[in-house]
Amino acid sequence: IISKINEISNYYSSALHWNLKEIKETLPSLIQNVKDHYSEIGTLLNVKFHNKNGIDRFQKQFDTGFQTFMETSRKKAKEAQNREQLTIQPKEILTTATKAKITIKNFLGGLYYLTTDEIEIQENKLYLIEAKHSKNAKLPNIGDIKDGLLKMILYCNLKNVKISDKNYIAFPILKLTSSKLLSSYKTGNSEEEKQNFFEENKLNKKQINLINNLLIESNVNNIKIIISNL
């Protein structure tokens, strides 16, 4: 694993070229290793795995060409996008019923099928809102926040944003909510308002440091942060 990570860090071509290289050079032996180890584990533990037909079908996609695999992957990604749009997770407390699909196309023609928890449209401005909620803590856990930030970085780099062929300017917003908070804070509030928010909600040092780091990140990448009890 370490050697592969080092190989990736020293690879200077595109992600597409990397994937094509791995499919050709690494995947066949990897699939065979998986099949062999399934058999060994099954024998060792006296358990029966699903048959290998699924793995064989997966491998056959590459045998018939990369285009076939790409089309299959895109189909599955779109299906997942459709499911996600219709689902509200416990860690998402949404103030509007505007969960929307967003499809990102990169410069190589690759398509990424995602959803955004909420959107808000004001004239030519499109606010893309990623919502993270905590029921029992004053802030969502760090894993959820990092997941939200990853979406924010993607949204910060969007160009030529359109809805039904109409151009918009995208503004990413990370919204953190908790039923344990007594007040709200957002980027743009004064330093005094921020300190009042810390005191009113009796945040500990770790929580304060997390929020301050988020605000630094938001300032560097032009992301709006909202922390509220709703």
- pLDDT at position 163, please? 87
The residue segments making up the domain with residue 19 are 1-64
The token pair at 15 is: 């992600």
Query: What is the rounded distance in angstroms from the CA atom of residue 100 to the CA atom of residue 85?
Result: 6
* Residue 110 and residue 168 in one domain: yes
Q: Tens digits of per-residue pLDDT, 25-57?
A: 888 888 888 888 888 888 888 888 777 788 887
| Same-domain check for residues 22 and 136 | no
Answer whether residue 140 is part of any domain: yes
Residues 44 and 155 in one domain: no
Specify whether 38 is located in the same domain as 123. no
Find the range with the poorest average confidence among 19-23, 85-89, 204-208, 215-219: 85-89
Distances (CA, A) of 96 to 130, 174, 230: 12, 15, 11
Which of 98, 32, 93, 23 shows the shortest CA–CA distance to 65? Answer: 23
In a domain, 32, yes or no: yes
pLDDT tens track for 93-139: 445 546 788 888 877 777 888 888 888 889 999 999 999 999 889 99
CB-based burial label for 129 (10 Å; 0-12, 13-18, 19+)? buried
pLDDT confidence of residue 202 = 95
Portion of the chain with pLDDT greater than 70, in percent: 85
Regarding whether 41 and 96 lie in a shared domain, the answer is: no
Q: Is the dihedral of CA 114, 115, 116, 120 positive or negative?
A: positive
pLDDT digits (tens, 9 = 90+) for 126-160: 999 999 999 889 999 999 999 999 889 889 988 89
Does residue 80 fall inside a structural domain?
A: no
Contact 28, 45 (CB under 8 A): no
Among candidate residues 49, 64, 79, the one where a domain is terminated: 64
Q: Does residue 81 form part of some domain?
A: no
Query: What residues have CB less than 8 Å from 131, skipping those under 6 apart?
Result: 92, 93, 94, 117, 118, 148, 175, 177
In a domain, 10, yes or no: yes
* Side chain identity at residue 160, one-letter code: N
Give the contacts of 145 (CB within 8 A, at least 6 positions apart). 132, 139, 174, 176, 210, 214
Among 48, 64, 80, residue at a domain's last position:
64
Say what the pLDDT of residue 93 is.
Answer: 47
Does residue 97 sit in the same domain as residue 201?
yes
Give 2's pLDDT tier (boundaries 50, 70, 90): confident
Measure Cα distances from 58 to 75, 113, 140, 208 in Å: 14, 21, 37, 47
Q: Does the residue 18 lie in any domain? A: yes
In a domain, 73, yes or no: no
- If asked whether residues 47 and 118 sit together in one domain, one would say no
* pLDDT at residue 4 is higher than 70: yes
Same domain, 53 and 129: no
Q: What is the mean pLDDT of the chain?
A: 84
How many domains, in total, are found in the chain?
A: 2
Per-residue pLDDT at 172: 93
pLDDT value at residue 68? 67
pLDDT at 178 over 90: yes
**pLDDT value of residue 228:** 92
Q: Report the phi/psi class of residue 164: left, alpha or beta, with left for phi > 0 and alpha for psi in -120 to 50.
A: left
Angle 27-28-30 (CA atoms, 0-180°, nearest 5)? 60
Asked, for residue 128, whether it belongs to a domain, the answer is: yes
pTM over 0.75: no
